[in-house]
Amino acid sequence: MLVDTSGLLCLIHRRESQHESAISLYDAATTRVTHNYVLVEFVSLAQARHVSRQAALDISERLLNDSEIEMTWVDETLHRDALAFLQTRRVLRS
């Protein structure tokens, strides 16, 4: 499972409409993967949804240290490689 920003918010924020579904999916996942961009973006999204900045930072820190989540670090090389890959997959529109 890719733990993305919106899914992470649904997982931790009880007021999100997909909270229960997010918990079920997360618990059922045998593999969990995320990347550092998600953790940074999560802090901003959580604050916009009225989660305290400190709580969002604490959650990000916990995820960073969670041995059950594979963390991928996006550095400049990986970012550029991903953009190059996307360029090769352009969808042409008429």
Torsion of CA 27, 38, 67, 76, to 10 degrees: 150
pLDDT at 86: 87
Q: How far apart are CA 61 and CA 72, in angstroms?
A: 15
pLDDT score recorded for residue 89: 84
| DSSP character string of 20-83 | HHHHHHHHH-S--EEEHHHHHHHHHHHHHTT--HHHHHHHHHHHHT-TTSEEE---HHHHHHHH
pLDDT digits (tens, 9 = 90+) for 9-20: 999 999 999 999
Q: What are 36-93's pLDDT values in tens digits? A: 999 999 999 999 999 999 999 999 999 999 999 999 999 999 999 999 998 988 776 6
